Amino acid sequence: MINEVKKYVLNKFKSSRPMMILIGSTFLFIFILNVTKTEPELLVLEEKIWPVSAVKAEYQDVQPTLNLFGEVISSRRSDLRAFVGGQVVEVGSNFKEGAIVEEGELLLVIDDFEYSNAVVEEEAKFEIMKRDFERAEELFSQGSISEQFRDNALLEKTRQELVLSEVKKDLRDTRLYAPYDGVINDVLASLGKQVSTFNDKIGEIIDVKNLEVKFSISKAQYGRLLEDENSIIGRSIDVRWAVGQKDLLFSADISRIGAEIKSNTGGVNVFASINFPDNEVTPLRPGAFVRLGMPDKSYQSVIVIPDSALYEDSYVYLIRDGRLAKHMVKIHGYDKTNVLITPSEAASITNDDMIVTNQLREAGEGVKVEVI
């Protein structure tokens, strides 16, 4: 029995010897690798520095300029009308489209033959009525006629005097004069034309020495201007008219505000009187489309930054010790592409603090940056 056990164990050992050799070799190989391996170098990752652009913070008083558009209009433009009928027998040399005329200059003459005769006839009647009244006055003083008879003679003379005044006016109205200095427009009468309709329009005159610019401002702009310490009325604006490749520059002063709020926009119309040197005929004409520069509300002690420096319309990043520091701000207004701000916490931003002006996607509190 013992021999059989020994024989069994010996056979098992012989059959498992290759496996034991393999396991031993494996352990030996692992041991050799552990003895001969080299220690790996430690990799130290350097913190990335992000390049940014920046400006120095500076508190200052700012008055932005509103860029607007407007239309030139005339403060005075009048229809020229014929108050009597007849044939046009004379036309003034400047009674033509676009011609410049002076106050009192003759524009047009209507045939006055009929009206001159009417004046002569009514003057003769008036002289008769006048003499009749004088005789009645004398007879009344003598007691030969009654007071009523004398008063009737006075009434007839007065009526005739009124008729004479009317026909004299008609005679004067056969000659049309320029009511003021201006430019002739929309001429409808010419030499030989029959003007037959009473109060017939024969042209138009536009006063080009008293031009205005009409423009509209929004409800928000109007509100800001009302908050300003300086009045809207009297505020000076720049008027720029592009003529081909040339810009003509004029100045104007706001004279009045429109009477109504525009229902479609909620804004208001503003009118400004354009200033011209004395006795200068301007090339500017009503209907011209012009660009305007008007001073906006004045802001005191604000910081001006590019709009790219503002994150989510609520905060900016300062550079402190080479790292970003987030600061909440208040927006007070805009000046073209710039934003006018102050810090939400007083004195948290001081003069000469560096404010990041570009939108950095990796921006965050403590991020290391370098100004380029």
- The per-residue DSSP string of 197-258 comes to STTEEEEEEE-SSSEEEEEEE-HHHHHHHHHSSS-STT-EEEEEEEETTEEEEEEEEEEEEE
Three-state SS at 59: strand
Q: Rounded mean pLDDT of 366-371?
A: 92
Identify residue 308 by its one-letter amino acid code. S
What is the reported pLDDT for 153?
92
Those residues with Cβ within 8 angstroms of residue 81's Cβ, 6 or more apart along the chain or in another chain: 199, 200, 201, 202
What is the rounded average pLDDT of the residues 251-269? 84
Task: Give the whole-number percent of the chain exceeding pLDDT 70.
Answer: 88
Q: Round to whole Å and give the CA distance between 305 and 64.
A: 13
- Give the span between the Cα atoms of 314 and 360, in whole angstroms: 15
Instruction: Say whether pLDDT at 22 is over 60.
Output: yes
Q: What is the pLDDT of residue 8?
A: 60
Backbone angles phi, psi at 247, to 5 degrees: -110, 125
Residue 235 has a pLDDT of: 93
pLDDT at 16: 65
Question: What percentage of residues in the chain have a pLDDT greater than 90?
Answer: 61
Which amino acid is present at 231? S
Mean pLDDT is lowest, of 182-196, 202-216, 257-271, for 257-271
Instruction: Say which residues have a Cβ less than 8 Å from residue 113's Cβ, sequence separation at least 6.
Output: none
Structure tokens at 226: 């009302």
Q: What is the pLDDT of residues 128-173, one digit of tens each?
A: 999 999 999 999 888 888 899 999 999 999 999 999 999 999 999 9
* Burial zone of 213 (CB within 10 Å; 0-12 exposed, 13-18 middle, 19+ buried): buried
Which tokens sit at 214? 């009409």
Residue 23 has pLDDT above 80, yes or no: no
Q: Is there a contact between 196 and 85 (Cβ–Cβ < 8 Å)?
A: yes
Which region holds residue 100: left if phi is over 0, alpha if psi is between -120 and 50, else beta? beta
pLDDT of residue 12: 58
**Residue 229 predicted with pLDDT over 80:** yes
* pLDDT for residue 196: 80
Phi-psi region of 131 (alpha: psi -120 to 50; beta: other; left: phi over 0): alpha
Query: Of the candidates 106, 105, 115, 109, which has an alpha carbon nearest to the alpha carbon of residue 87?
Result: 109
Q: State residue 53's pLDDT score.
A: 94
- Give the span between the Cα atoms of 46 and 171, in whole angstroms: 103
Is a pLDDT exceeding 60 seen at residue 5?
A: no
Residue of 254 and 3 predicted with greater confidence: 254
On whether the CB atoms of residues 85 and 198 are closer than 8 A, the answer is yes
Q: At what angle do helices 113-142 and 147-172 cross, to 10 degrees?
A: 160
pLDDT of residue 281: 72
Are 91 and 329 spatial neighbours (Cβ–Cβ below 8 Å)?
no
pLDDT band for 258, please (50, 70, 90 cuts).
confident
Residues 301-339 have pLDDT tens digits of: 999 999 999 999 999 999 999 999 999 999 998 888 899
Q: Using the CB atoms, write b or e for 223-240: b if 16+ within 10 Å.
A: ebbeeeeeebeebebebe
Give me the chain's average pLDDT, please: 88
Looking at residues 61-68, what average pLDDT do you find? 92
The pLDDT, as a whole number, for residue 290 is 96
What is residue 69's predicted lDDT score, i.e. its pLDDT? 94
Reply yes or no on whether the pLDDT at 10 is more than 70.
no
Average pLDDT over residues 74-81: 89
Q: Order across the sheet with 106-110: list the strands.
A: 175-177, 106-110, 86-91, 194-195
Q: What is the pLDDT of residue 347?
A: 82
Q: What is the pLDDT confidence band of residue 195, given thresholds at 50, 70 and 90?
A: confident
DSSP H or E stretch at residue 236: strand 236-243
Closest CA to 237 of 210, 211, 275, 282: 275
